[in-house]
Structure formats: C-alpha cells, structure tokens
Amino acid sequence: MNVFDALPVSFGSSKTEKDPNSYKNRNRDNVWQVVENGFSKCFEFSNKRPSTFPSQDGLFTHGKWEVETLQKLKEELNGVKSKLNSYNLADWHDHTRKNNYAGTVMRSLRKFQPEFLTQAWCKFYEVVSRYKLIPKQCLKKKLLNSVHLCEAPGAFIASLNHFLKLNHPEIEWKWFATTLNPYYEGNDLQHMVNDDRFIINTLENWWFGNDETGNVYGDNYLSSLIEKTKFLHPVYLVTADGSIDCLSDPAEQEKKVVHLHFTETVCALNILERGGSFLLKTFTMFECDTVCLMYLLRCCFTHINVFKPVTSKEGNSEVYVVCLGYKGKDHVPVLEKLNVYYYKEMKEALFSRNDIPDFFIQEIINCATKFKLIQTSVIERNIETYKHQHKRKRSRLQLMDIRDSTANLFIEKYKIRPISPKDFVVHDQDADAICLNLFPRDESGTFLERKMFKQLDTKAMLDFYKGKLDLVETDWDVEDIFWFTFSPNSKIKLNLKFGKPIEKVRTSKFCKGNLLAIYTELVKLCLETGVKIDIPDQLDLDKFICKNAIDTNDFSWTENYNECQKCFFEKFMSACEKLEVGDDLILKGFPLLTQFNVGVIFILGHLFEKVGFVNPSVSPYSIILKGLKDSDLKSLISSISSSMCDRKTDGLVSLVHITYLCESEILRCVTWINQITLKFLSLIMLKKLKETRQT
C-alpha cells in the first residue's frame, strides 16, 4: 500500500486530473514532496573505510583546533538565528508551533491514547521504528535491558514500552533511568525538566547518584553507575537525552553541551554490551570537541547515523546520533583514559586534528552542511510567514494539508496502534493527581530584552518583580490559623536520605518555581545591601500550652540551608526534651520549601493532635503543633540524630519518602501556604528595598 493512500481528501479527488499541470496537481505534488522531506532528515556515515583509535597517550594533549569550513557554517547559522533577537520569544514560539509541519502529529496520536504522550515520545518512536535500536541478540533471547541517561521526564521509556508491546510483546524488558533529581532542592530549576508525573510513579527505577543530586558530574558518579547497572547485565540499549538551557547564549550552544555529551558517551561505553545500541541527542557539529566525539563513536560502533525526527522542532539544531553495533569494551583501548577524564574540564581536545582522517572530516562537513541548511531554511520560512501572517489564504490551506498529511504518514509509516492500559508502565495511577509543579518557564520578552534584563538597575528590576508578584493569586479565606489534621489511617514512614549538603534552595516540589526564584533573588538583594526586614510577629503564645517555641526567623534558610538545618535540629532536640504529652510546640519562621522541613511537619503532625498554619500577615511560616499525643517523639528524634552523626559530611536531604509526602493530603496544603507566604514576604522585601533606595 502506498503511504499516500492514507492522506486526507484535502489533496483532491482520487480520479485522474484532465490537466496534469493544473494547480491542484502541482500543489499536491508540492505537498507530497514537503511531507516526504520531513521524514528524510538523516545522514549515514560510511563504514567502508576502517576507523582506528589514536594512541591513548595522545588523548587530551593537544589544544583545541578548528575546521575552517565548519566555522564558516557556524557563522552563517548564527547570522540567520540572530535575525530572531528582536522577536518576542513567547510570540515566536507560538508562531513556529502553529507553522510546524508536524504540528498535528501529537493531536492525531491522542486517539490511540498512548501513555505519557509528549514530543519526546514521538521523537523516540520515530528513531526506534526507523533504526534497529533493538539488537538481534535481544530478539533472539527475548530479553532487553535498557538504561536511560538524563531521561526526565520519562517519555522515551513510555515510548519504548509502547513500541515493544506492539512489535515485540514476547520480549521481557527491564529499564533503569537517571536524571537530575527533581526533588533535590539544591538543583537549579533552569537545568531540569519541570515535570515529574512519570518519575513519581516509577521512582524505584530511577537513580540520582550517591549524592541524591542526579548530577552526572558528581563525585564517583561513573563508577557508581557502572556498579548500579550490573543487576541489568547485559545492557543492550542506552539512550542519552540530556541538554542544557542555552537561552542566554544560543550562539554557543554546542560548546555549552559538549562536556555533557562526553560524559553521557563515556557512561554508555562502560555499561553497554557488545552489539548494543546507543542513542545520543546532540546539536551542531562545528567545534572540534563534537568532531572528536563523533570520531570516537565511529571507532566504537559499526554503524553511525544522524537523524532529525520529523517531530523534532524544525528550527532548532537538535539531532540524534544513532549508534548501532557496539564493538565492546575490549575493542575500546582508550576507555580507561576516557574514564580518567570523565570528571575533568575539557581544556584540551580529545584527539588532535592529525588523529582524525580527512575522509571523516569531510563526512562531518557534509553532515553539518545538510542539517545547517535544513535549519536555516526553516528559520527563514518562519520569518517570512511571521511577517505576512493573516495573509495568503492559499498558503494557509497548503500548510493545513502538509500538517494533516504529515500526521497521517507518521501513523501509517510507523504503524501506530493503541495498546492496552494494563500494558502501560504505570498502572492504576492518576499521574497528574500528585504533581503540582508543572509550571512553564518564563518566555516573555525578546532575546535582546532578556539580555538587557540582566543589566537593569535595581529599581527597574524591583518594578519587574512587583509586576510578576501581582500576577500570583493568593487568598487566605480562613481565620488567623488554618488547622490541619492527618487522617487516622496515615502512618509515619521514616526514610532518611543523605546526600550532598544543600547550600542554596533553588527549587521546591512544594511551590511554583518562578515565585521561589523571585523570593530567593530578593533575599539575596537584602543580604547584599544590608537591608533588615521586619517580619511581623503578632502570634499570642499565651493561648497555647507551650514550654518552648523554636524561632528561626533570623535564619537565612534559602541562602545557607545546610547550616540552618543543623542549627534548627539542635534547637528542635532541645525543645523536644522538655515536651510532655498534651503540650504544644510552636515553630516560627520555618519555611516549608524542602523535603526535610515538610518531613518534620509530616512526622510531628502524626504525633500531635493537629497542626495549625498561621496567617502570614500575623506571623509568616509559624506553625503550631497542638497537643502532643505520642511519647515516641523523643526516641524518634534520637534515632534521626544518631543517623545524622554517622553521616556528618553528608546533608540530610529527606526524612520521609517523597512519594508519601506527595500522596499525603498535606501536599496541597503546604503548596498553598508557600504561595501565600512567599508572595507576602517578597512584597515586604520589595517595599523595604525601594524605601532604602529613596533614602
């Protein structure tokens, strides 16, 4: 069956046209050509000539070098991209989304109700359907073990599952994934995918390193990963979908991501079985570091392809390097040296220019040229349509034809069909129910305006923050104290996790990322300028049977979290020693931004009759634990203290497993409290900072 038999009737009648040169026929041919081209953005490296490893003694001993032709391509690409600097980022993205030839693919796929359908799901499905990512050994043994690096939010896994259930249901599949830990509050939100719907329901399959950060550059990450994945042996598929936010400097995207791609590759070479496949997301290939990495892959695998899926955003540089037929660790003599340089800054080139054959350099030039031309033509097309949008009805109709045809061809070409929900990775879970931090990144303003924002004077910056805060909805519609009681069926489940000490709180599962960013920036400004903030404290302690209140209002929780945590715990232990059944305990200035702090409330909430959250305008982040009902508190605190003493060099990241905090009714309560309190405190700081500037 011709794939175009499935195209929509908008292409015209299936009957033969009387005039083959009529507009209708010519238009149909043009549409077909555009659609086919969308699925043909690929480049195959020749394997006819042997590629040999340079001597490992020469690795990382030569300065960075350049290929003149590649630098010229880079200059030309950046010249075209620079035309976008004056466009509003949000408006531009909306325009390119509407004009994306593959823009209706996801909408068309929804009728099949795939699990966790995202753009990444579509991209991976294209790759795994087009290339033989599943090695013959797996088909023969009916067994596949896969490792997914930098995988958040998890769409590659859901996509692979769908593909296997449709095409190889007999295969027994096990998977293991890594990513930056979305729950580790020391991680920068800008470096993470802000979507944990899939992760929270499959946490047992995820690993965040020994330090709980998930950072691939972390201490002993490589050796620990190798050890951790031994239970999966043999690993026949590794995917690496990592990237870094380069909005601040898009012209140097390749240089910013090269070390990440190097670490992902070294991980794959260490854990893959002979004959295995490696899928690596990369971008342009203009710099020597990328050329060296590509040559390394060419030496390690029998087949190398570069592919840009039709569902990959048309105007960006994203491509996937598909590496098939791993030759095995025994055939990678430089692997030990690569492992040594895993943690080191790449100041020198992996290989010298003379180490790489001229024929391979020419292939890189051909590959880079092809994808550069694809990208620039799309950008120019989008600029042209942006200038003349709301015009040219015929062009809009043709765009609709292309989009619908691309979606139909995607379904036909890759034989998409539904699978049973019982075959999903996540069973019987409402993935959205316990995920509250799905907040989009701020894409307001043009690139030039965003660059200028960093140079704003303090007054302009404060006005900007005020405008953002005014958009945050807050509504305290209860009395001065909101009382909360845990369900009698809810139990304390201690699960202490230690990791890298958190110095600054940069993200939180328990509040909006953009609100936290404004709050922490204002705290930083106050500290830098010496501005003292008068925190309101009108809480009447005489109303409570309180022998001791733990006051941490003067703690700089977000800027010096680790020290604040230690000081708090000392005060906490001292206060608990004096508590008797029936007593109350009050915490003042205790922010609910981290797993540890929320875990404290989770534990105490089960040991006291009820928990009271005080209106921020009365006393911000003041929490009342009313009526101690369990004498086990002291032994519980003693157990935690003992564990902390055993891990003095580590930070206590959490007291309770994150899934319990997310499944508990306290999650929405704490998120609501944080939103109100952070806005309230931010407005106080804004006012004080403005007053200070005027004096």
> Per the annotation, where are the binding residues for S-adenosyl-L-methionine?
154, 173, 241
Residue pair 278/268 in contact by the 8 Å Cβ criterion: yes
d(Cα 379, Cα 396) in Å, to the nearest integer?
Answer: 17
Three-state secondary structure of 595-626: HHHHHHHHHHHHHEEEEEEECCCCCCCCEEEE
Residue pair 108/408 in contact by the 8 Å Cβ criterion: yes
E strands, 327-432, are: none
Sole residue written with tokens 């175009």: 4
User: Can the peptide bond before residue 153 be classed as cis, meaning omega within 30 degrees of 0?
Assistant: yes
- Give the neighbor-by-neighbor strand order of the sheet with 301-307: 42-44, 301-307, 319-326, 272-282, 235-240, 143-149, 172-178, 206-207
| Nearest of 287, 283, 292, 284 to residue 262 by alpha carbon | 292
For residue 172, give Cα distances in angstroms to 165, 229, 236, 460, 539.
10, 17, 13, 59, 60
Residue list for the binding site: 154, 173, 241
Burial class (CB in 10 A: 0-12, 13-18, 19+), 592: buried
CB atoms within 10 A of CB 194: 17
d(Cα 189, Cα 601) in Å, to the nearest integer?
Answer: 24
Catalytic annotation, residues: 281
Burial class (CB in 10 A: 0-12, 13-18, 19+), 15: exposed
Residues 6+ apart with CB under 8 A from 612: 481, 482, 483, 484, 623, 624, 625, 626
| Nearest of 2, 237, 211, 56 to residue 135 by alpha carbon | 237
Distance from chain centroid for Cα 15: 50
Residues 6+ apart with CB under 8 A from 563: none
Among left, alpha and beta (phi > 0; psi -120 to 50; other), residue 432 is: alpha
| Nearest of 259, 90, 239, 256 to residue 175 by alpha carbon | 239
d(Cα 623, Cα 508) in Å, to the nearest integer?
Answer: 19
Instruction: State residue 239 phi and psi, 5-degree precision.
Output: -115, 150
Q: Hey, which residues does 326 pair with through a beta bridge?
A: 301
d(Cα 279, Cα 268) in Å, to the nearest integer?
Answer: 9
Q: Are strands 42-44 and 301-307 parallel, antiparallel or unpaired?
A: antiparallel
**What separation, in Å, do the N-terminal and C-terminal C-alpha atoms of the chain show?**
79
User: Can the peptide bond before residue 234 be classed as cis, meaning omega within 30 degrees of 0?
Assistant: yes
Q: HSE-up of 494 (CA within 13 Å, CB side)?
A: 14
